[in-house]
Amino acid sequence: MTSGRMELVCPAGTPATLRAAVQAGADAVYCGFRDETNARNFPGLNFSGEELAEGVRFARDHGSKVLVAINTFARVNDVALWKKAADTAAECGANAIIAADIAVLDHVAKNHKQIRLHLSVQAAAATPEAIGFHANSFGVRRVVLPRVLSIQEIAALNRAIDVETEAFVFGGLCVMIEGRCYLSSYATGKSPNLNGVCSPPEMVSYDEETNGTAARLSGFTIDRYEPGEPVGYPTLCKGKFKAGGKTSYLFEDPVSLNAGGMLAGLKAAGVTALKIEGRQRGKGYVTEVVRAFRKAVDAVEQGGDAIEIDRILAGQSEGARQTTGAYKKKWR
């Protein structure tokens, strides 16, 4: 599907961050409720119904939209919590619901026809057939693309479908086929796809030992750090393990996605919206990243060249190790 001006979709873990993202130039902000119906179910994060209603009003007053993620998978015989979340989002006047579970999609399609449905990355829909099924069955208007596709594949996909596509451009990277990760549930009994938590913090510990700090998840050592070395949050897919006599980041290097240099390519591939990851990040971080991407997207829309875009986003590539992910085919 061809697109006009690309939309910048930004994360908000709290009402303060929502306001910060909107003021920094987000076209749309995505957020979730304070329960297991969304994939960032961490302590102190997320919105009550009242906070969401206020957030929607604030965003609308500033010309932005609010998209509500209800994107975990409901438990067997217990879909009521997910339906209630969808009902609340609709009552609050949210512009769209981002969902993956067929039960949630079906509930919204039947009961809240006024609200747009976006297919979450958790649904891992990466073929015209899968996307077409969701569009035809539930009226899905946009699909958030799994982070396993190259730009060429996205372009081909967009030629074959007639719904909008949204692509991640910045932030944390999931290496697994999204919506189907069992690593966290193996170690902790809690799953990102069912409970909304990857590496639940109540099972995280940082233990001081003679040779430095060990970061552990549910007793499993995920990584070790020398004294004074910066530490990371222990997630299994980005852990350092020994296999075949060699110690390495077995599944994935602890790098973040930065596709800032590929915005023009994504536009040419027909992408409608660009998504920044990071609902667990603070408002300072969100403000800085959104502001930079706002300028970069505007520059792309005005035909700015790659050098200008790189200059605008230069500050975002300092510090953490980054990758262009699957957008350049070699990453796989």
Q: Considering only residues 9, 11, 14, 96, which one is a binding residue for another protein as defined by CB under 8 A?
A: 14
Q: If binding is defined by CB under 8 A, does position 253 make contact with another protein?
A: no
All residues at 6 or more sequence positions from 57 whose CB lies less than 8 Å from its CB, including other chains: 93
Answer whether 8's CB lies under 8 Å from 292's CB: no
Q: Considering only residues 111, 127, 152, 205, which one is a binding residue for another protein as defined by CB under 8 A?
A: 205
Among candidate residues 259, 257, 210, the one with its CA nearest the CA of residue 238: 257
Q: Which residue has the tokens 């076209």?
A: 27
Q: If binding is defined by CB under 8 A, does position 283 make contact with another protein?
A: yes
Q: Considering only residues 282, 314, 321, 329, which one is a binding residue for another protein as defined by CB under 8 A?
A: 282
DSSP state of 323: E
Q: Considering only residues 111, 177, 189, 206, which one is a binding residue for another protein as defined by CB under 8 A?
A: 206
Q: How far is the CB of 202 from another protein (least distance, A)?
A: 4
Q: How far is the CB of 85 from another protein (least distance, A)?
A: 17
Q: If binding is defined by CB under 8 A, does position 219 make contact with another protein?
A: no
Whole-Å CA distances, 254 to 238, 291, 318: 5, 25, 15
Q: How far is the CB of 17 from another protein (least distance, A)?
A: 7
Query: Binding string, 31-50, against another protein, x = CB under 8 A?
Result: ---x-------xxxx--x--
Q: If binding is defined by CB under 8 A, does position 220 make contact with another protein?
A: no
Among candidate residues 74, 93, 92, the one with its CA nearest the CA of residue 83: 74
Q: If binding is defined by CB under 8 A, does position 132 make contact with another protein?
A: no
Q: How far is Cα 297 from Cα 287, in angstroms, rounded to an integer?
A: 15
Q: Considering only residues 6, 8, 9, 15, which one is a binding residue for another protein as defined by CB under 8 A?
A: 15
Give me the amino acid identity at 89.
Answer: A
Helix/strand/coil percent split, the chain, to 5: 40, 20, 40
- Interface stretch with another protein, choices 112-120, 226-234, 237-245, 265-273 (CB under 8 A): 226-234
Q: How far is the CB of 44 from another protein (least distance, A)?
A: 3
Three-state DSSP class for residue 305? coil
Gyration radius (Cα) of the chain, Å: 19
Q: If binding is defined by CB under 8 A, does position 208 make contact with another protein?
A: yes
Q: Considering only residues 107, 134, 190, 281, which one is a binding residue for another protein as defined by CB under 8 A?
A: 281
Name the β-bridge partners of 70.
99
Q: If binding is defined by CB under 8 A, does position 228 make contact with another protein?
A: yes
Whole-Å CA distances, 277 to 45, 52, 170, 203: 15, 19, 6, 23
Answer whether 128's CB lies under 8 Å from 103's CB: no
Q: Considering only residues 5, 16, 305, 310, which one is a binding residue for another protein as defined by CB under 8 A?
A: 16
Residues near another protein (CB under 8 A) are 13-17, 34, 42-45, 48, 51, 200-202, 204-206, 208, 213, 227-228, 230-233, 281-285
